[in-house]
Structure 1
Amino acid sequence: MKKVRIGVIGAGLRGGLSLYWHKPEGESEIVALADISEERQQKYQEKIGTPIFLTKDYKDLLVRDDIDAIAVLSPDYLHEEHVIAALEAGKHVYSEKPLAITVEGCDRIIDAWEKSGKHLMVGFNMRYMSMYQTMKGLIDSGAIGDLKAVWVRHFVGFGGYFYYHDWHALRKNTTSLLLQKGSHDLDVIHWITGRYTTKVSAFGGLDYFGGDMPNDLTCPECSLKNECPEYVPHTFTECAFRKEVDVEDNNMLIMELEGGVKASYLQCHFTPDYERNYTFIGTKGRIENDDVNDKVYLKTRKTGTWNEYSDVTYDMKPEDGTHGGSDPKIAQDFIELILRGKQPLTTPFAGRMSVAVGCAATESIRSGGVPITISQQSSFIKN
């Protein structure tokens, strides 16, 4: 194979990622799109620039011989169905995170992948961001000694716009936002530390969004739109304070990782700012990021060596491409995986484990904070 011909399922929120694969004179090309919206189909066709096959039914892509790989960019609750169907049809698959919205769903996907003989890649693009690669490199180098603790705070300043005006706000579609939004952070904790979570206790609540507004109310139709702080005029317009909203808008997790490393993760969707703050503490110092100003700080403690005499600030260099330059990198790694067998920075099992933590933490929250043990063993019983 000299070129990977890709069919895309879903031209919505993450549809833009697929544009990095469209290189008709190169090693990858978008040849088809499945999306239930004709309007999104036409807008996507205009962006691509060259004629592609368009359909509302994703199954039409699976029977085509001119498609080698499927990019699953559909809503979370459809990932399991779409990924398994594509693998069983003999296609390589790129799946946006989360891999599924249940651990059992992830296990069924991994089972289908192992049987298919095809490649499966999960879209953890934060592993491709220079900031987090820098932090991982410093920790792996021993710059802070033996890692002991991790603190992560995620201020989701656009939480209402991103997650409470559409399907994300319902448990049946997401399980919780610890899978949708939190899966990135939980994965980065696992990746940078090199350890998976074994136990979690969590608290959270729906303390701002939701309420008693009608489920069919949209922002443009609302009489309160001129005074509502969550008013949005376009794209996602379902009322963020509608009755059916049942997904927590703030979460606090305490985790124990393999080897006894302790970690905490805090997420809030009604803060005024947008920021991810990571701190890793070891026996010789700590590192902390500032993603607003694109910096990583290395601070050292008294060690009796030259290291204690200075702290170091790392300035991230600007990179081209969306999501801090990570999207073109992760898109290229999918092509490298298929054409040359180069292993990407992420794995399907890592996708499974971030979902496992999100699901366990959600169970803990909805059970009053009880500790939940997380197993790495498949919950899928093979025949």
Structure 2
Amino acid sequence: METVRIGIIGAGLRSGIAKNWHKPEGKSVVVGAADISEERLERFLEAVNPDAFTTTDYRELLMRDDIDAVAVLSPDYLHEEHAIAALKAGKHVYCEKPLAITVEGCDRIIEASKNAGKHLMVGFNMRYMSMYQTMKGIVDSGVIGDLKAVWVRHFVGWGGYFYYHDWHGASKNTTSLLLQKGSHDLDVIHWITGKYTKKVSAFGSLDFFGGDKPNDLTCPTCDLKDTCTEYSPHTLTQCAFREEIDVEDNNMVMMELEGGIKASYLQCHFTPDYQRNYTFIGTKGRIENSELEGKVYVRTRKSNSWNELSDVTYDIKKEEGSHGGADPKITEDFVNLVLYNKQPLTTPFAGRMSVAVGCAATESIRAGGKVIDISQSTVMS
């Protein structure tokens, strides 16, 4: 195989990543797409490849012999169904995060990949961002010593717009936003520390969104649209204060990782700003990032070595492409995985473990903060 022929399942917002795969003169080409919306498929054709095959039934896509690999970009609750079906059809699979909305679902996908003898890659594009690759390099260098603590604050300034106006707001579709939104952060904690979470305790609640509005109420038809802080003019935008919303918008998670590292993850969906703030503390110093400034700060403490004599600030270089230049890199890694068996920066097991932490934290929240142990199971990849 010299060129990977890719089919897309899910032509919604995240399908914009497919443009990175459609390179007729390169190593990959997008030849098909499936989505239940013909309107989205039409937009996909215009944006990616006007000659691509399209269908409203993903099974028709999987039956095609001219497709070698499939990118699963559908809503979270469909990842398991779509990924397993693609693997059983003999296709390599790129699956957006979270891998599934249950740990058992992740294990079933990984098992299907092994049985099919096909590659499975999880879309953890934060591992490909310059900011977090820089932070991992600093930690791995040993300049801040042995890691002991990780603090992560996630300010989701567009939480209502992204997560409470549509299917994300119902737990049956997501389990919780500690999976949908938090799986990135939980994975970065695991990746940079090199350790997985052993147990969690968490607290959270629905403090702003949700309420008593009808489930079929949309923003354009609402009598309060002129005064509502969450008004969105899109035709099908559901009310962010409707009855069915039951996923927490304010979460605090405490974790103990392998090796005794303590970590915290805080996520709030009604903040005025949008950024992630990471702090890693070691025995010789700490590092902290500022996404808004595009910087990583290294602070050192007395260590009886030259390292204590100065602090360092890293200016993160801007790169072309969506998600800070990460999407072109991660899509290329998937192509190289299929063509050359070149391993990417992430693994299916890492995808499984971020979901495991998110599920355990959600269970803890809904059990009043109970400590939940996290199993690594017998599925390793």
TM-score, length basis structure 2: 0.99
How many Å separate the matches in 1 of 2:374 and 2:37?
39
Q: Which residue of 1 aligns with 2:249?
A: 249
How many Å separate the matches in 1 of 2:332 and 2:144?
32
Q: Which residue of 1 aligns with 2:208?
A: 208
Is 2:305 aligned against 1:298? Answer: no
1:83-138 CA-to-partner distances (Å, cap 9, x unmatched) read 00000010000000000000000010111011111100000000000110000000
Q: Which residue of 2 aligns with 1:114?
A: 114
SS in 2 for 1:144: coil
Moved more, 12-21 or 273-282: 12-21
Which amino acid in the other structure matches residue 69 of structure 1?
A: A
Matches within 5 A, 1:1-383: 1-234=1-234, 237-378=237-378
2:129–2:325: 8 Å Cα contact kept in structure 1?
yes
SS in 2 for 1:41: helix
SS in 1 for 2:228: coil
2:218–2:235: 8 Å Cα contact kept in structure 1?
no
How many Å separate the matches in 2 of 1:236 and 1:366?
31
1:104–1:379: 8 Å Cα contact kept in structure 2?
no
How many Å separate the matches in 2 of 1:20 and 1:262?
38
SS in 1 for 2:13: coil
How many Å separate the matches in 1 of 2:363 and 2:114?
29
Which amino acid in the other structure matches residue 123 of structure 1?
A: G
Which amino acid in the other structure matches residue 270 of structure 1?
A: F
2:30–2:49: 8 Å Cα contact kept in structure 1?
no
1:327-348 CA-to-partner distances (Å, cap 9, x unmatched) read 0000000000011111000000
Which amino acid in the other structure matches residue 106 of structure 1?
A: C
Shift of 1:13: 2.2
Shift of 1:50: 3.4
Which amino acid in the other structure matches residue 151 of structure 1?
A: W
How many Å separate the matches in 2 of 1:25 and 1:283?
50
1:132-175 CA-to-partner distances (Å, cap 9, x unmatched) read 00000000010100000000000000000000000000000000
Between the aligned residues of both structures, percent identity stands at 75
How many Å separate the matches in 1 of 2:300 and 2:127?
25
2:364–2:372: 8 Å Cα contact kept in structure 1?
yes
SS in 2 for 1:288: strand
Residues 235 and 372 of structure 1, relative CA distance in 2, 3 Å threshold: farther
How many Å separate the matches in 1 of 2:132 and 2:36?
36
SS in 1 for 2:307: helix
How many Å separate the matches in 2 of 1:175 and 1:136?
29
How many Å separate the matches in 2 of 1:12 and 1:31?
17
Which amino acid in the other structure matches residue 71 of structure 2?
A: A
**Gapped regions of structure 2 (runs ≥ 5):** none
How many Å separate the matches in 1 of 2:37 and 2:283?
54
2:77–2:101: 8 Å Cα contact kept in structure 1?
yes
Which amino acid in the other structure matches residue 359 of structure 1?
A: C
How many Å separate the matches in 1 of 2:176 and 2:144?
34
Shift of 1:305: 1.6
SS in 1 for 2:149: strand
SS in 2 for 1:227: coil
Which amino acid in the other structure matches residue 7 of structure 2?
A: G
Shift of 1:66: 0.3
How many Å separate the matches in 2 of 1:37 and 1:377?
38
Shift of 1:379: 8.2
1:198–1:374: 8 Å Cα contact kept in structure 2?
yes
How many Å separate the matches in 2 of 1:132 and 1:3?
30
Shift of 1:49: 4.1
How many Å separate the matches in 1 of 2:260 and 2:178?
22
1:103–1:379: 8 Å Cα contact kept in structure 2?
no
1:283-342 CA-to-partner distances (Å, cap 9, x unmatched) read 000000000111000000011222111100000011000000000000000000011111
1:34-87 CA-to-partner distances (Å, cap 9, x unmatched) read 011111111110112431101000000111100000000000000000000000
How many Å separate the matches in 1 of 2:307 and 2:72?
47
How many Å separate the matches in 2 of 1:49 and 1:371?
49
**Gapped regions of structure 1 (runs ≥ 5):** none
Which amino acid in the other structure matches residue 264 of structure 2?
A: S
1:153–1:278: 8 Å Cα contact kept in structure 2?
yes
2:360–2:372: 8 Å Cα contact kept in structure 1?
yes
1:19–1:48: 8 Å Cα contact kept in structure 2?
yes
Instruction: Give the superposed CA RMSD.
Output: 1.0
How many Å separate the matches in 1 of 2:151 and 2:300?
17
Shift of 1:378: 4.2
SS in 2 for 1:201: strand
1:3–1:28: 8 Å Cα contact kept in structure 2?
yes
Which amino acid in the other structure matches residue 14 of structure 2?
A: R
Residues 235 and 68 of structure 1, relative CA distance in 2, 3 Å threshold: farther
Which amino acid in the other structure matches residue 306 of structure 1?
A: W
